[in-house]
Amino acid sequence: MSSTPPWNVRRLPAADGRVFLVTGGNAGIGYFVAEQLSATGATVVLGSRSPAKAEAATASIRARVPGARVRAVRLDLADLPSLETAVASMGVERLDAVVHNAGVALDDPPREETADGHELMFGTNHLGHFALTRWLMPLLSAAPAARVVTMGSFAAKSERLDLDDPQSRRDYQPKRAYGRSKLAQMYFGVELDRRLRAAGSPVVSVIAHPGGALDSLTPSRPPIHVRTTGARLGAAPAALLVQGKHAGAWPAVRAVLDPAVRGGQLWGPRVFGLRGEPRREPVWNHLADPGVAARLWEASCALTGVDFRTVIPV
Protein backbone atom coordinates (compact mmCIF):
# COMPACT_ATOMS: atom_id res chain seq x y z
CA MET A 1 0.00 0.00 0.00
CA SER A 2 1.33 3.43 -0.96
CA SER A 3 1.54 6.08 1.74
CA THR A 4 1.19 8.83 -0.88
CA PRO A 5 -2.35 10.27 -0.93
CA PRO A 6 -4.20 10.42 -4.26
CA TRP A 7 -3.59 13.59 -6.24
CA ASN A 8 -6.20 16.26 -5.51
CA VAL A 9 -6.23 19.32 -7.77
CA ARG A 10 -7.97 21.30 -5.02
CA ARG A 11 -5.65 20.24 -2.20
CA LEU A 12 -2.13 20.73 -3.44
CA PRO A 13 0.95 19.80 -1.39
CA ALA A 14 2.74 22.60 0.43
CA ALA A 15 5.75 24.11 -1.32
CA ASP A 16 6.90 26.71 1.20
CA GLY A 17 10.37 28.02 0.48
CA ARG A 18 10.39 26.96 -3.16
CA VAL A 19 10.59 29.37 -6.11
CA PHE A 20 8.70 28.86 -9.38
CA LEU A 21 8.76 30.87 -12.62
CA VAL A 22 5.74 30.81 -14.94
CA THR A 23 6.23 32.33 -18.38
CA GLY A 24 3.12 34.04 -19.66
CA GLY A 25 1.80 34.02 -16.10
CA ASN A 26 -0.30 37.15 -16.58
CA ALA A 27 -3.15 35.60 -18.59
CA GLY A 28 -4.83 32.42 -19.81
CA ILE A 29 -3.60 29.05 -18.61
CA GLY A 30 -0.40 30.61 -17.29
CA TYR A 31 -2.37 32.82 -14.93
CA PHE A 32 -4.13 29.82 -13.43
CA VAL A 33 -0.86 27.88 -13.13
CA ALA A 34 0.52 30.83 -11.16
CA GLU A 35 -2.61 31.21 -9.03
CA GLN A 36 -2.67 27.53 -8.11
CA LEU A 37 1.05 27.38 -7.36
CA SER A 38 0.75 30.51 -5.22
CA ALA A 39 -1.69 28.67 -2.95
CA THR A 40 1.09 26.22 -1.98
CA GLY A 41 3.16 28.83 -0.14
CA ALA A 42 5.83 28.98 -2.83
CA THR A 43 7.23 32.18 -4.27
CA VAL A 44 5.84 32.50 -7.80
CA VAL A 45 7.42 34.78 -10.38
CA LEU A 46 5.26 35.80 -13.34
CA GLY A 47 7.19 36.23 -16.57
CA SER A 48 5.40 38.76 -18.75
CA ARG A 49 6.07 41.15 -21.62
CA SER A 50 3.63 43.70 -20.18
CA PRO A 51 4.31 45.24 -16.75
CA ALA A 52 0.71 46.52 -16.58
CA LYS A 53 -0.78 43.09 -17.26
CA ALA A 54 1.62 41.47 -14.83
CA GLU A 55 0.61 43.97 -12.15
CA ALA A 56 -3.08 43.19 -12.73
CA ALA A 57 -2.42 39.45 -12.53
CA THR A 58 -0.36 39.85 -9.37
CA ALA A 59 -3.15 41.86 -7.74
CA SER A 60 -5.74 39.26 -8.75
CA ILE A 61 -3.71 36.40 -7.26
CA ARG A 62 -3.13 38.29 -4.03
CA ALA A 63 -6.85 39.00 -3.73
CA ARG A 64 -7.69 35.30 -4.08
CA VAL A 65 -4.72 33.78 -2.22
CA PRO A 66 -4.13 35.45 1.15
CA GLY A 67 -0.43 35.88 1.80
CA ALA A 68 0.53 34.93 -1.74
CA ARG A 69 4.22 35.40 -2.47
CA VAL A 70 3.94 36.52 -6.07
CA ARG A 71 5.84 39.04 -8.15
CA ALA A 72 6.69 39.70 -11.77
CA VAL A 73 9.69 39.96 -14.07
CA ARG A 74 9.66 41.50 -17.53
CA LEU A 75 10.23 38.69 -20.01
CA ASP A 76 9.94 38.91 -23.80
CA LEU A 77 10.59 35.54 -25.41
CA ALA A 78 10.56 37.11 -28.87
CA ASP A 79 13.62 39.19 -27.93
CA LEU A 80 16.41 36.64 -27.53
CA PRO A 81 19.20 39.08 -26.55
CA SER A 82 17.10 40.30 -23.59
CA LEU A 83 16.69 36.93 -21.91
CA GLU A 84 20.01 36.72 -20.08
CA THR A 85 19.34 40.13 -18.51
CA ALA A 86 15.77 39.14 -17.63
CA VAL A 87 17.01 36.07 -15.75
CA ALA A 88 19.56 38.16 -13.86
CA SER A 89 16.82 40.62 -12.88
CA MET A 90 14.83 37.90 -11.10
CA GLY A 91 17.07 38.34 -8.07
CA VAL A 92 16.82 34.73 -6.85
CA GLU A 93 19.58 32.33 -5.82
CA ARG A 94 17.85 29.23 -7.13
CA LEU A 95 14.80 28.14 -9.09
CA ASP A 96 12.86 25.00 -8.17
CA ALA A 97 10.79 24.91 -11.36
CA VAL A 98 10.01 26.83 -14.49
CA VAL A 99 6.76 26.36 -16.42
CA HIS A 100 7.31 27.17 -20.08
CA ASN A 101 3.78 28.30 -20.81
CA ALA A 102 3.90 31.61 -22.71
CA GLY A 103 2.98 31.46 -26.35
CA VAL A 104 1.76 33.26 -29.43
CA ALA A 105 -1.05 31.86 -31.58
CA LEU A 106 -1.89 33.54 -34.89
CA ASP A 107 -5.03 32.61 -36.81
CA ASP A 108 -4.52 34.51 -40.05
CA PRO A 109 -1.76 35.39 -42.51
CA PRO A 110 0.52 37.17 -43.17
CA ARG A 111 3.56 35.48 -41.72
CA GLU A 112 5.20 37.59 -39.00
CA GLU A 113 8.73 37.60 -37.63
CA THR A 114 10.46 38.45 -34.37
CA ALA A 115 13.08 41.20 -34.21
CA ASP A 116 15.67 38.42 -34.64
CA GLY A 117 14.11 37.37 -37.95
CA HIS A 118 12.42 34.16 -36.76
CA GLU A 119 8.85 33.18 -37.62
CA LEU A 120 6.88 34.65 -34.73
CA MET A 121 5.29 31.50 -33.29
CA PHE A 122 8.33 29.25 -33.73
CA GLY A 123 10.60 32.03 -32.50
CA THR A 124 8.56 32.82 -29.40
CA ASN A 125 7.05 29.50 -28.40
CA HIS A 126 10.07 27.31 -29.06
CA LEU A 127 13.26 29.29 -29.60
CA GLY A 128 12.48 31.77 -26.82
CA HIS A 129 11.96 29.02 -24.26
CA PHE A 130 14.97 27.12 -25.59
CA ALA A 131 17.26 30.10 -25.02
CA LEU A 132 15.61 31.00 -21.71
CA THR A 133 16.33 27.52 -20.37
CA ARG A 134 20.02 27.90 -21.08
CA TRP A 135 20.17 31.10 -18.97
CA LEU A 136 18.06 29.52 -16.22
CA MET A 137 20.22 26.40 -15.89
CA PRO A 138 22.55 27.77 -13.18
CA LEU A 139 19.52 28.70 -11.03
CA LEU A 140 17.84 25.35 -11.69
CA SER A 141 21.04 23.45 -10.92
CA ALA A 142 21.31 25.31 -7.60
CA ALA A 143 18.03 23.73 -6.41
CA PRO A 144 18.06 20.21 -4.96
CA ALA A 145 15.64 18.73 -7.52
CA ALA A 146 14.44 21.33 -10.03
CA ARG A 147 11.96 20.74 -12.84
CA VAL A 148 11.56 22.23 -16.30
CA VAL A 149 7.91 21.83 -17.28
CA THR A 150 7.15 22.54 -20.92
CA MET A 151 3.53 23.18 -21.85
CA GLY A 152 2.83 21.69 -25.25
CA SER A 153 -0.52 21.44 -26.99
CA PHE A 154 -2.97 18.79 -28.09
CA ALA A 155 -2.72 20.52 -31.49
CA ALA A 156 0.82 19.15 -31.76
CA LYS A 157 -0.37 15.55 -31.72
CA SER A 158 -1.36 15.55 -35.38
CA GLU A 159 1.59 17.64 -36.59
CA ARG A 160 5.05 16.65 -37.79
CA LEU A 161 8.10 18.89 -37.98
CA ASP A 162 9.64 19.91 -41.29
CA LEU A 163 13.27 20.32 -40.24
CA ASP A 164 14.17 21.50 -43.75
CA ASP A 165 11.80 24.44 -43.23
CA PRO A 166 11.27 24.83 -39.47
CA GLN A 167 10.26 28.49 -39.80
CA SER A 168 7.60 27.96 -42.48
CA ARG A 169 9.27 30.15 -45.08
CA ARG A 170 8.06 28.09 -48.06
CA ASP A 171 4.46 27.29 -47.10
CA TYR A 172 3.09 29.30 -44.19
CA GLN A 173 -0.22 28.15 -42.72
CA PRO A 174 -0.88 29.77 -39.31
CA LYS A 175 -2.62 26.90 -37.54
CA ARG A 176 -0.07 24.38 -38.78
CA ALA A 177 2.80 26.70 -37.83
CA TYR A 178 1.36 27.02 -34.34
CA GLY A 179 0.99 23.26 -33.94
CA ARG A 180 4.54 22.71 -35.14
CA SER A 181 5.91 25.35 -32.78
CA LYS A 182 4.28 23.55 -29.85
CA LEU A 183 5.53 20.20 -31.14
CA ALA A 184 9.04 21.67 -31.26
CA GLN A 185 8.65 22.70 -27.63
CA MET A 186 7.66 19.18 -26.68
CA TYR A 187 10.59 17.64 -28.58
CA PHE A 188 12.81 20.08 -26.70
CA GLY A 189 11.38 18.93 -23.37
CA VAL A 190 12.07 15.28 -24.19
CA GLU A 191 15.58 15.92 -25.52
CA LEU A 192 16.43 18.21 -22.61
CA ASP A 193 15.63 15.42 -20.17
CA ARG A 194 17.75 12.95 -22.11
CA ARG A 195 20.73 15.32 -21.98
CA LEU A 196 20.21 16.09 -18.30
CA ARG A 197 20.19 12.37 -17.49
CA ALA A 198 23.35 11.79 -19.53
CA ALA A 199 25.07 14.61 -17.64
CA GLY A 200 23.98 13.25 -14.25
CA SER A 201 22.07 16.44 -13.46
CA PRO A 202 19.48 16.54 -10.64
CA VAL A 203 17.28 18.74 -12.87
CA VAL A 204 14.51 16.93 -14.76
CA SER A 205 12.40 17.93 -17.74
CA VAL A 206 8.70 17.06 -18.02
CA ILE A 207 6.20 17.85 -20.77
CA ALA A 208 2.50 18.57 -20.31
CA HIS A 209 -0.46 19.71 -22.36
CA PRO A 210 -3.76 21.32 -21.29
CA GLY A 211 -6.14 19.39 -23.53
CA GLY A 212 -8.99 21.54 -24.80
CA ALA A 213 -9.21 24.74 -22.77
CA LEU A 214 -11.73 27.45 -23.69
CA ASP A 215 -12.19 30.99 -22.37
CA SER A 216 -15.96 30.43 -22.32
CA LEU A 217 -15.55 27.63 -19.75
CA THR A 218 -13.06 29.56 -17.64
CA PRO A 219 -14.18 31.21 -14.37
CA SER A 220 -13.91 34.99 -14.24
CA ARG A 221 -10.83 36.67 -12.85
CA PRO A 222 -11.49 40.35 -13.52
CA PRO A 223 -9.78 42.23 -15.04
CA ILE A 224 -7.69 39.29 -16.33
CA HIS A 225 -10.69 37.43 -17.71
CA VAL A 226 -14.41 38.18 -17.52
CA ARG A 227 -16.87 35.48 -18.55
CA THR A 228 -20.36 36.67 -19.43
CA THR A 229 -23.49 34.69 -18.62
CA GLY A 230 -24.15 34.32 -22.33
CA ALA A 231 -20.72 32.85 -22.95
CA ARG A 232 -21.12 30.43 -20.04
CA LEU A 233 -24.50 29.20 -21.25
CA GLY A 234 -23.41 29.01 -24.87
CA ALA A 235 -20.40 26.89 -23.97
CA ALA A 236 -22.30 24.42 -21.80
CA PRO A 237 -22.49 21.68 -24.50
CA ALA A 238 -18.74 21.96 -25.11
CA ALA A 239 -18.09 21.13 -21.45
CA LEU A 240 -18.81 17.49 -22.30
CA LEU A 241 -15.60 17.40 -24.34
CA VAL A 242 -13.33 20.22 -23.18
CA GLN A 243 -12.77 22.43 -20.15
CA GLY A 244 -11.77 25.86 -18.91
CA LYS A 245 -8.26 27.24 -18.64
CA HIS A 246 -8.25 26.80 -14.87
CA ALA A 247 -8.47 23.04 -15.48
CA GLY A 248 -6.05 23.27 -18.40
CA ALA A 249 -3.47 24.37 -15.83
CA TRP A 250 -3.76 21.15 -13.80
CA PRO A 251 -1.29 18.95 -15.76
CA ALA A 252 1.48 21.55 -15.52
CA VAL A 253 0.81 22.15 -11.83
CA ARG A 254 1.00 18.43 -11.12
CA ALA A 255 4.19 18.18 -13.16
CA VAL A 256 5.71 20.85 -10.90
CA LEU A 257 4.52 19.53 -7.54
CA ASP A 258 3.86 15.79 -7.57
CA PRO A 259 6.84 13.90 -6.09
CA ALA A 260 5.88 10.87 -8.19
CA VAL A 261 6.50 12.72 -11.48
CA ARG A 262 9.68 11.70 -13.31
CA GLY A 263 11.72 13.27 -16.07
CA GLY A 264 10.74 12.53 -19.65
CA GLN A 265 7.09 11.95 -18.81
CA LEU A 266 4.03 13.46 -20.53
CA TRP A 267 1.07 14.68 -18.47
CA GLY A 268 -2.35 15.69 -19.77
CA PRO A 269 -6.08 15.56 -18.96
CA ARG A 270 -7.57 12.21 -18.09
CA VAL A 271 -10.56 12.07 -20.49
CA PHE A 272 -9.41 11.49 -24.09
CA GLY A 273 -6.55 13.89 -23.44
CA LEU A 274 -9.03 16.76 -23.63
CA ARG A 275 -10.56 17.30 -20.21
CA GLY A 276 -10.50 16.10 -16.62
CA GLU A 277 -7.95 15.68 -13.87
CA PRO A 278 -4.28 15.28 -14.82
CA ARG A 279 -2.74 11.90 -15.51
CA ARG A 280 0.39 10.51 -17.03
CA GLU A 281 -0.08 9.43 -20.63
CA PRO A 282 2.24 7.59 -23.01
CA VAL A 283 4.69 9.82 -24.84
CA TRP A 284 3.33 10.21 -28.38
CA ASN A 285 5.05 7.96 -30.87
CA HIS A 286 6.50 10.74 -33.01
CA LEU A 287 7.87 12.51 -29.90
CA ALA A 288 9.92 9.41 -29.10
CA ASP A 289 12.09 9.81 -32.23
CA PRO A 290 15.57 10.69 -30.91
CA GLY A 291 16.87 11.57 -34.36
CA VAL A 292 14.33 14.34 -34.88
CA ALA A 293 14.87 15.63 -31.35
CA ALA A 294 18.65 15.78 -31.81
CA ARG A 295 18.40 17.56 -35.17
CA LEU A 296 15.98 20.11 -33.72
CA TRP A 297 18.31 20.71 -30.76
CA GLU A 298 21.30 21.44 -33.00
CA ALA A 299 19.20 23.68 -35.26
CA SER A 300 17.88 25.56 -32.23
CA CYS A 301 21.41 26.14 -30.91
CA ALA A 302 22.40 27.59 -34.28
CA LEU A 303 19.30 29.79 -34.58
CA THR A 304 19.51 31.19 -31.04
CA GLY A 305 23.28 31.37 -30.71
CA VAL A 306 23.19 29.83 -27.23
CA ASP A 307 25.64 27.16 -26.11
CA PHE A 308 24.18 24.57 -23.74
CA ARG A 309 27.50 22.74 -23.43
CA THR A 310 28.64 25.13 -20.72
CA VAL A 311 25.68 24.17 -18.50
CA ILE A 312 24.91 20.61 -19.70
CA PRO A 313 28.26 19.09 -20.72
CA VAL A 314 27.05 16.44 -23.14
pLDDT in tens, 224-239: 999 887 877 787 888 8
Which residue would you say has higher pLDDT here, 5 or 38? 38
Q: What whole-number percentage of the chain has pLDDT above 70?
A: 99
Q: Are the beta carbons of 225 and 218 closer than 8 angstroms?
A: yes
Alpha carbon 211 to chain centroid, angstroms: 13
pLDDT in tens, 193-206: 999 999 999 999 99
pLDDT in tens, 125-179: 999 999 999 999 999 999 999 999 999 999 999 999 999 999 999 999 999 999 9
Q: Are the beta carbons of 158 and 137 closer than 8 angstroms?
A: no
Is pLDDT above 60 for 2? no
pLDDT band of residue 262 (cuts 50, 70, 90) is very high
Catalytic residues: 178
Residue 185's alpha-carbon distances to 132, 191, 264, in angstroms, are 12, 10, 13
Spatial distance between the Cα atoms of 55 and 32, rounded to a whole number of angstroms: 15
Mean pLDDT of 257-285: 97
